[in-house]
Amino acid sequence: MAKNSSKLNPLSVWALAAGGMVGGGIYTVLGVVIAVSAQWTWLAFVLTGLIAIPSAYSYVFLTNKFHEEGGAFVFLEKVDDKKMAGNLSWLLIIGYVLTISVYAYAFGHYLSFAFHGDPLLMRLLAAGIVIALILLNLAGVGKLTNVEIIIVSVNLLVLLALGIYGLAHWDTSQLTAGISPRPIWSSLIGGASIFMAYEGFQLLTYEYDKIKNPEKSFMPTLMSAVIFVVILYAVVALGATMVGGATSMISFKEIALSISAESAFGKTGLIVMTVAAGFATAAAINSTLFSTANLSKRIASQNELPSWFNHTNKNDVPDRSIIVLGTLAGTLAIVGSLSSLVEAASLAFLFTFGIVNWIAYRESEKRKWIPLMGIIIGILVGLALIFRLVISKPIALGGILALVLLIIMGRPYLLKKKEKTQQKAQEDEH
pLDDT tens digits for range 60-79? 999 999 888 878 888 888 88
| Lowest mean per-residue pLDDT among 143-147, 162-166, 322-326 | 143-147
> What is the pTM for the complete model shown?
0.88
Q: Which of the four pLDDT bands, split at 50, 70 and 90, describes residue 416?
A: low
| Mean pLDDT, rounded, for 87-107 | 88
Cα–Cα dist 43/45, whole Å: 5
pLDDT band at 3 (very low <50, low <70, confident <90, very high): very low
Neighbours of 53 (CB within 10 A): 21
Half-sphere exposure of 357 (CA within 13 A, CB side): 24
Supply the CATH classification number for the domain 13-395. Answer: 1.20.1740.10
Answer with the residue of higher pLDDT: 77 or 136: 136
Closest Cα partner for 291 from 64, 23, 66?
23
Q: For residue range 309-336, what is the model confidence (pLDDT) as tens digits? A: 888 888 888 889 999 999 999 999 898 7
Q: What local confidence, expressed as pLDDT, does residue 2 receive?
A: 41
pLDDT band at 125 (very low <50, low <70, confident <90, very high): very high
Query: Residue 193: pLDDT band by 50, 70, 90 thresholds?
Result: confident
**Which of the two residues, 419 and 362, has the higher pLDDT score?**
362
> Average per-residue pLDDT in the chain?
87
pLDDT recorded at residue 128: 94
Strand partners, 8: 211
Choose between 415 and 89: higher pLDDT: 89
pLDDT at 49 over 90: yes
For residues 421 and 34, the model is more confident at: 34
39 close to 172: Cβ distance less than 8 angstroms: yes
In the chain, where are the structural domains located? 13-395
How many Å apart are CA 255 and CA 116, to the nearest integer?
12
pLDDT value at residue 142: 64
Q: Give pLDDT, residue 422.
A: 53
Any idea what DSSP says for residue 211?
A: B
pLDDT above 90 as % of the chain = 45
pLDDT > 70: percent of the chain: 92
What pLDDT, in 10s, does the model give residues 220-276? Answer: 999 999 999 999 999 999 999 999 999 999 999 889 999 999 999 999 999 999 999
